[in-house]
């Protein structure tokens, strides 16, 4: 079974707006990663945040992590049509070698 | 191209046939993973190799599935006696040790299997 749960399941915004996606998980983690997947393709790694970090930035992406609430958020600022994709959070548990993925948020950016 | 590659990209097979997929990881990565993804879901872990050793297998990996990484480089995933429920995207990923023991996984484009 998958550990993570993303919210919302689908999000539709206008180009230029910000998009926020949330992820909740159930057990202790070593790190949390966000991935993007365009329709029918492989996953692209976006950003990794370790359990002792609270916030991380990469370009237009901002990720936060609250281990006390077992939750993370991904903010995409100034969205573009090319950001249209599914976004997944994935957790790596302490001592675990695999990732547990959520069900994803389907983001649509309308030009 | 130095990313993870998978072959074939698409495979259509009849129920009961055997299929084999190949994954070539990023060359300096010692870890290799197989995942399965069905429509509308996130990837689910199947198995993991460190070099040539298969160190972990999911309960999803029934005895009809076998994976190898004979020389610690490329890997193959074989499904015997395919069933319609095996229809999915099979994803391969590789990683190397990063900061503080974290492993960023880099995914290939996947092999989409359709069992008719």
State what percent of residues in chain B have pLDDT above 70.
95
Q: CA nearest B112 in A: which residue?
A: A40
Q: CA nearest B107 in A: which residue?
A: A43
Q: Do A42 and B55 count as a contact with CB atoms less than 8 A apart?
A: no
Does residue B28 have a cis peptide bond before it, meaning omega lies within 30 degrees of 0? no
> DSSP assignment of A81-92, as one string?
GGG-EEEEEEEE
- The pLDDT tens digits for B59-113 are 888 899 999 999 889 999 999 999 999 999 999 999 887 655 567 889 999 999 9
Report pLDDT for B83. 96
Least Cα distance to B4 among B85, B116, B92, B103 occurs for: B92
Helix (H, G, I), strand (E, B) or coil at B96: coil
Tokens linked to A90: 């994935």
Q: Do A43 and B44 count as a contact with CB atoms less than 8 A apart?
A: no
Return the bridge partners of B49, or none: B32, B54
Report pLDDT for B60. 82
Q: Do A42 and B108 count as a contact with CB atoms less than 8 A apart?
A: yes
Min distance A111 CA to chain B CA atoms (Å): 24
**A2 pLDDT exceeds 50?**
no
| CB B21, CB B68: distance < 8 Å | no
Q: CA nearest B33 in A: which residue?
A: A98
**A52 pLDDT exceeds 60?**
yes
How far is residue A98 CA from its own chain's centroid? 17
Give the integer Cα–Cα distance in Å for B38 and B31. 23
| CB A44, CB B107: distance < 8 Å | yes
Give the integer Cα–Cα distance in Å for B94 and B90. 14
Question: For B37, phi and psi rounded to 5 degrees?
Answer: -130, 125
Min distance B88 CA to chain A CA atoms (Å): 11
A109 pLDDT tier (thresholds 50, 70, 90): very high
Q: Do A101 and B44 count as a contact with CB atoms less than 8 A apart?
A: yes
Min distance A89 CA to chain B CA atoms (Å): 9
- The pLDDT tens digits for A59-85 are 999 999 999 999 999 999 999 999 999
Min distance B81 CA to chain A CA atoms (Å): 24
A88 pLDDT tier (thresholds 50, 70, 90): very high
Report pLDDT for A1. 45
Report pLDDT for B47. 94
**Mean pLDDT score of chain B:** 91
Q: Do A97 and B103 count as a contact with CB atoms less than 8 A apart?
A: yes
The secondary element (H helix, E strand) that includes residue B100 is none
Report pLDDT for B1. 53
Report pLDDT for B62. 87
> DSSP assignment of B18-60, as one string?
-EEEEEE--TT--EEEEEEE-TTS--EEEEEEETTEEEEE-TT
């Amino acid at each position: 079974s998958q550990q993570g749960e993303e919210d919302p399941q689908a999000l539709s915004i206008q180009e230029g707006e910000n998009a926020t996606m949330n992820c909740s998980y159930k057990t202790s983690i070593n790190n949390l990663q966000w991935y993007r997947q365009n329709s029918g393709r492989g996953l692209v790694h976006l950003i990794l945040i370790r359990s002792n970090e609270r916030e991380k930035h990469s370009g237009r992406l901002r990720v936060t992590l609250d281990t006390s609430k077992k939750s993370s958020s991904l903010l995409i600022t100034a969205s573009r049509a090319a950001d249209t994709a599914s976004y997944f959070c994935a957790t790596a548990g302490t001592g675990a070698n695999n990732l547990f993925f959520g069900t994803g948020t389907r983001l649509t950016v309308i030009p | 191209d130095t990313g993870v590659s998978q072959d074939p990209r698409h495979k259509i097979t009849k129920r009961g046939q055997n299929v084999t997929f190949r994954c070539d990881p990023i060359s300096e990565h010692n870890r290799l993973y197989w995942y399965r993804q069905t429509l509308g879901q996130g990837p689910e872990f199947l198995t993991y190799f460190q070099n040539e050793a298969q160190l972990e297998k999911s309960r999803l990996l029934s005895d009809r599935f076998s994976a190898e990484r004979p020389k610690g480089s490329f890997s193959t995933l074989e499904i015997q006696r395919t069933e319609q429920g095996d229809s999915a995207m099979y994803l391969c990923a590789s990683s190397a040790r990063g900061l503080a023991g974290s492993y960023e996984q880099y995914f290939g484009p996947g092999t989409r299997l359709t069992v008719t």
